[in-house]
A and B are shown apart, each in its own frame.
Chain A
Amino acid sequence: MSEEILISARNITKSYSLGRKKRHIAVNDVSLELYKGETLALVGESGCGKSTLARLLMRLIKADSGRICFEGTDISALSGRALKPYRKRMQMIFQDPASSLDPRLRIRDIIAEPLRVWRVCPDKTEMERRILDLLDMVELKESMIDWYPRELSGGQKQRVGIARAIALDPELIICDESVSALDVSVQAQILNLLKRLKKELGLSCLFISHDLSVVNFIADRVCVMRGGVICETADTETLYAHPGHEYTRYLLSSIPAIGDDPVS
């Protein structure tokens, strides 16, 4: 983990209209930094604004106010074409592997789509090799290249989603509840895969989750969010050993302990 900041947010706010002059403030004056090579986790309960914050960082939605800097460049004001190069450098892995893959495309075409959009592999054989490489990286069999998503299990679908996200060699991966819909034994496989890929490819990762045990395994630093505000940011070890904020302690004490685990 370096000291260099990859992406940062300064005092960003996003609110949605509720009609009749009422507004819901989803993200309220939040600032955070993500360093190169680290995994930063955003945890909080549903509706706390963690997904909104991730979408703001990716510039999928526009903030009402505040600045977002990617490697020092302010991208919050950029539009359309000027933003495009940054899109390539940030990729997302979604929660539900079934609905994030086009059921009518073969695995080959799903993974090839970002490569085609960016004209990364103009040559057909080169494209094929790249796809096979990616399948290998996510531990899928080469023969699956011509399968359809419906022929894959949930874990395998999520692996395809990961292959698609890393196809363009991005610097930042945003995982929005990427393992929440998976079964325990499959979840462990995917968590291991994410951790290994992150290390091998030198990725930075923003990991959104509501599951504090998963975050404990994968994250270097943790931001705890509540009601659109970050209430605590700390190293993973520090946070779990000495939670500073009352709400963090409350969250930790709510996890059902397994056997005689030393949870709070």
Chain B
Amino acid sequence: MSDILLEIKNLTVSVRNGKSDIPIVKGVNIEIQRGEIVGLVGESGCGKSMTARSVMGILPGPARKSGEILWHEPDGTVTDLTGLSEKALRDMCGLRIGMVFQEPMTSLNPMMRIGDQVAEVLRIHKLVRNREEAREKVIRLLKEVGIEEPALRYRSYPHELSGGMRQRVMIAMAMIGEPGLLIADEPTTALDVTIEAQILRLIRQMCVSRHMSALVITHNMGVVSALCDRVYVMYMGRIMERASTGQLFANPLHPYTRGLLSSLPRIGKNPEYLTTIPGNIPEAGREPVGCEFCLRCSDDERRCFFERPSEIETDEGHYVSCFMCQRV
């Protein structure tokens, strides 16, 4: 039944540091089906944003990537985004793939009216014939993302809007080209809980009503649970576990996933102390030879230090990279 939209194959990103290359993302494979919302969850520095940025071709200067990023058209043609020229990639991004960033204040242009900013996408990609048509389209979309009095707000500047409203404008900007995939990098991290709930609902609605897929980058398990169909758990540049959201929360297998979930303070469960993952995340470039997690793992054995576990399927659609899970 596979109806794949985007396939990231063996993606590696490294950053040059002096004479050596430090790998940040190490052979990551991600598949996104049409209409599916996929979560990529991990702590800061694990490479989740780098993975998302690789797709858009907007890695920071010193970063190098290798691997394939395959875009599947409905008619069966496959394009490798990594092989595209800058111009061809620009046509791709913005039209087929839209991106929403974390901080809506810094990613909007403070000198431009928000309506014109959203309309800019239409103008650059030549999607409209004239100003009037662009204006109409933008106003319709602003209304759809929940901005009241869109005709009036069209003329507002970003500083006149609240954080939640700005994020809605960002979403409108990402959506105006009617993309097949929305990449959202920590879309609600800078927002209050009540606004967060509204924005999550909005992203979900947009995906359903337009049969759009989404890749949601987050560190928040609550966001994953509320929004995503499937989840990838990332640690130090590697995917440790992937499963459907239901499977992952009902039966987390990897020691890192289990550690993360038990570290979360939760309402309704009141332990005296939280169960924590001991130690700190090792510095990039100083990771162990074997499993990245072995130094902080509670049930490691000798081979974990020397060998890297490969991914195994424990249940339908539930994959984990851990020696200890193999035995079960």
Q: Does A73 contact B (CB under 8 A)?
A: no
| Of listed B225, B259, B265, B277, residue having the most chain A CB within 10 A | B265
In the complex, what distance in Å separates the CA atom of A130 from the CA atom of B276?
A: 28
Residues of B within 8 A of A192 (CB): 273-274, 276
Residues of A within 8 A of B273 (CB): 192, 195-196
In the complex, what distance in Å separates the CA atom of A240 from the CA atom of B200?
A: 23
In the complex, what distance in Å separates the CA atom of A155 from the CA atom of B260?
A: 15
Pair A155/B280 contact, Cβ less than 8 Å: yes
In the complex, what distance in Å separates the CA atom of A246 from the CA atom of B152?
A: 32
Q: How far is the CB of B39 from chain A (nearest CB, A)?
A: 12
Would you call the interface of chain A mostly helix, strand, loop, or mixed?
Answer: helix
Q: Does A183 contact B (CB under 8 A)?
A: yes
Pair B280/A240 contact, Cβ less than 8 Å: no
Interface residues of B in 178-194 (CB under 8 A from A): 192-194
Q: Does A256 contact B (CB under 8 A)?
A: yes
Asked whether A185 and B267 contact (CB < 8 A) given A254-B196, A256-B196, the answer is no
Pair B276/A183 contact, Cβ less than 8 Å: no
Within 8 Å by CB of B197, from A184, A185, A254, lies: A254
Pair B266/A187 contact, Cβ less than 8 Å: no
Q: Does A156 contact B (CB under 8 A)?
A: yes
In the complex, what distance in Å separates the CA atom of A183 from the CA atom of B263?
A: 10
Stretch at the interface among B58-66, B123-131, B214-222, B315-323: B214-222
Interface flags, B164-208, vs A, CB<8A=1, else 0: 000000000000000000000000000011111100100000000
In the complex, what distance in Å separates the CA atom of A210 from the CA atom of B250?
A: 27
Within 8 Å by CB of A185, from B43, B223, B266, lies: B43
In the complex, what distance in Å separates the CA atom of A73 from the CA atom of B93?
A: 64
Residues of A within 8 A of B249 (CB): 258-260
Q: How far is the CB of B142 from chain A (nearest CB, A)?
A: 23
- What band does the interface of chain B fall in when counting residues whose beta carbon is under 8 Å from A? 35 or more
Pair B197/A217 contact, Cβ less than 8 Å: no
Pair B268/A263 contact, Cβ less than 8 Å: yes
Pair B192/A45 contact, Cβ less than 8 Å: yes
Interface flags, B40-70, vs A, CB<8A=1, else 0: 0001100000000000000000000000000
Pair B260/A258 contact, Cβ less than 8 Å: no
Residues of A within 8 A of B266 (CB): 213, 216, 258, 261
Q: Does B226 contact A (CB under 8 A)?
A: yes
Nearest to A262 among chain B residues (CB) is: B268
Q: Does B28 contact A (CB under 8 A)?
A: no
Pair B225/A256 contact, Cβ less than 8 Å: yes
In the complex, what distance in Å separates the CA atom of A231 from the CA atom of B49?
A: 39
Q: How far is the CB of B7 from chain A (nearest CB, A)?
A: 28
Nearest to A155 among chain B residues (CB) is: B280
Pair B264/A213 contact, Cβ less than 8 Å: yes
Q: How far is the CB of A252 from chain B (nearest CB, A)?
A: 8
Q: How far is the CB of B191 from chain A (nearest CB, A)?
A: 9
Q: Does A132 contact B (CB under 8 A)?
A: no
Pair B193/A183 contact, Cβ less than 8 Å: no
Within 8 Å by CB of A187, from B163, B192, B259, B263, lies: B263
Pair B265/A254 contact, Cβ less than 8 Å: no
Residues of B within 8 A of A (CB): 43-44, 163, 192-197, 200, 219-223, 225-227, 249-250, 259-261, 263-277, 280-281
Closest 6 CB pairs of A and B: A259-B249, A256-B222, A188-B263, A217-B265, A256-B226, A45-B192
Residues of A within 8 A of B (CB): 45-46, 153-156, 183-189, 191-192, 195-196, 210-214, 216-218, 240, 250-263
Q: A187-B263, A255-B222, A257-B225 are in contact. List 12 more A-B contacts (CB 8 A).
A: A184-B219, A184-B263, A188-B277, A192-B276, A196-B273, A212-B193, A217-B270, A254-B196, A256-B222, A258-B221, A258-B264, A261-B267
